[in-house]
Structure 1
């Protein structure tokens, strides 16, 4: 499957960094500090946002391997990482879960990934993690919540339509969308992991106008594909939401959830 546009990834990175639950990051850091040589495998790495967000909070002597299917994103991730000897990069199709290089890995990390994945994908990954004895830190999975101010009568319906589209196949089977964190937690707990979750919503205001504009622009096609409403109804709602960006008191909340699972 193809990767995301690097410009979109760059635009959302500031919001992602601001909303990660730091309690889970601190718990992960404590877990890794007890190891002589912790090693982190970041899957679906994109341009390396997870590395940039966590590296200063985790043990500095930890090694990293970043995987992505898109060679252009890997190239950008490598460029932004510089000449750090503790970070390496590899192309990998995540559909091949059995080939994930988990030997010697302390924890697998991923950001904004599992809401694109299926129940079967999560179950298979949980099996691999349990067999390898490594943990999972899965951040910023969409949880189905979207709220705006000022409100519009169609806000709830548009959220429902988007959530319906989020459950369509994104390259890993029928996607979990808003159910991703609950599904991951279920499979990991069943395999003996200690699982902790925390909300990590985007809270967007006038300072994030560019991100809101791009996000709303990206909603149009999913809404059209999931709906039998006239195109004009969707476009009028989008026009209202776009016009509200940057006005006094306007805000937007997009729900996400973080998960940390450690071996029992």
Structure 2
């Protein structure tokens, strides 16, 4: 088997940040959009509706309900929620039932097809859903006009420090509390423990911190960077762990996660290709037998102006 064919087994069009906690690289030979930043963002986040649907149940179970309820208590009836990097709208469907009364959701994403999918599944008949085709890396305060709450899920890790600073500035200028969930921390645990776990986790985290078209991604440092920026702005911040806990009941998700996790590790360290094949075979057999458990750590944060 050639190097390209071996590596090709692992490289999937999925969000790796969500895999080990950010977002995966594009497949080799993928097209680019015009414009330097736009090309970088679309290359870094080639995500499918199928992948987002597959992970939605695990996401909903993992997000901090405590922080979600705290955010809800900060809002008045008729809340306007701006969701950044909405994808297919899973954040909206998770949080909307915790908000009382009528509500409007403004969904921002660079992918219009995903936004169409999200708008077709409103959280309730009375909810108003609007969409905005927008690269969140270019967000400005004007884009959040009228927001009662700003939300984001599993996206921080694919931003650069400059892009994150711009988003925090826009949020602070708006004054609305911010609920950012499922930010990768870089920590992954597998049971039973294997000799390659730490090696592949380290390689994956190197991939998360890679430079793409001159953009140095924050990867697992994103959540702590966001906390620092909000606190420097004088805002209060609460955090909560939000790990994925996966077992045989979600075998399909485990398989996709494992392929993407190993694929990113191999992209970062090509010398791991053959070991990745062996490692994947062992872990797949364990998953099939119902003996594999996976914990993918994430962090949720709620920030607000005191």
Q: Which of the five TM-score ranges fits, normalised by the shorter chain?
A: over 0.9
Contact 2:77–2:101 (CA under 8 A) maintained in structure 1: no
Distance in 2 between residues matched to 1:197 and 1:40, nearest whole Å: 20
What's the RMSD between the two structures over aligned residues? 1.8
Could you say which residue in structure 2 is the equivalent of 1:236? 278
Asked if structure 2 preserves the Cα contact closer than 8 Å seen for 1:205 and 1:246, the reply is no
Aligned partner of 1:120 among 155, 159, 162: 162
Query: How far apart are residue 248 of structure 1 and its match?
Result: 4.3
**Deviation digits for residues 37-95 of structure 1 (CA, Å, limit 9, x no counterpart):** 32110010000001100110112312110111101101111112286552111211222
The farther-off stretch of 224-233 and 136-145 is: 224-233
Say whether residues 1:52 and 2:87 are aligned partners: no
Residue 219 of structure 1 and its aligned partner are, at CA, apart by 2.4
How is 1:113-262 mapped onto 2 (pairs within 5 angstroms)? Answer: 113-169=155-211, 173-262=215-304
Kindly provide the CA deviation profile for residues 207-243 of structure 1, in whole angstroms up to 9, marking residues without a partner as x.
0100000111112331111114242112111111111
Is contact 1:117-1:172 (8 Å) kept? no
What residue in structure 1 maps to residue 104 of structure 2? 63
CA contact (8 A) 1:116 1:172 kept: no
Q: How many residues are paired up?
A: 262
The CA deviation at 1:172 is 9.4
In the alignment, which residue of structure 2 is the partner of 1:24?
67
Q: 1:139 to 1:100 in 2, by over 3 A?
A: farther
Please show how residues 71-82 of structure 1 align to structure 2 within 5 Å.
Answer: 71-81=112-122
Question: C-alpha displacement at 1:97, in angstroms?
Answer: 1.8
Contact 1:95 1:172 in 2 (8 A): no
SS at match of 1:218: helix
The 2-side partners of 1:148 and 1:205 are apart by: 10
Indicate if the aligned counterparts of 1:117 and 1:170 stay in contact, CA closer than 8 A: no
- Segment drifting more, 214-223 vs 196-205: 214-223
Structure 1: gaps (5+ residues): none
Indicate how the Cα distance of structure 1 residues 37 and 190 shifts in structure 2: closer, same or farther if over 3 A, else same. same
SS, match of residue 211 in structure 1: helix
For structure 2, list consecutive stretches of 5 or more residues without a partner in the other structure. 1-40
CA contact (8 A) 1:67 1:90 kept: yes
> Which range moves more in the overlay, 86-95 or 201-210?
86-95
Mapped contact 1:167–1:175 kept (Cα < 8 A): yes
Q: Residues 104 and 230 of structure 1: is their aligned pair in 2 closer, same or farther, counting only changes over 3 Å?
A: closer
Query: What is residue 49 of structure 2 aligned with on the other side?
Result: 6
Match of 1:37 in 2: 78
Comparing 163-172 and 151-160, the one that deviates more: 163-172
Q: Could you tell me the TM-score, scaled by structure 1's length? A: 0.93
| Cα deviations by residue, 1:241-264 (Å, 9 ceiling, x for unpaired) | 111114344201011110100112
TM-score by length of 2: 0.81
* 1:112-144 CA-partner distances (Å, limit 9, x unpaired): 010111111121111111122112110001111
Distance in 1 (alpha carbons) for counterparts of 2:222 and 2:272:
30
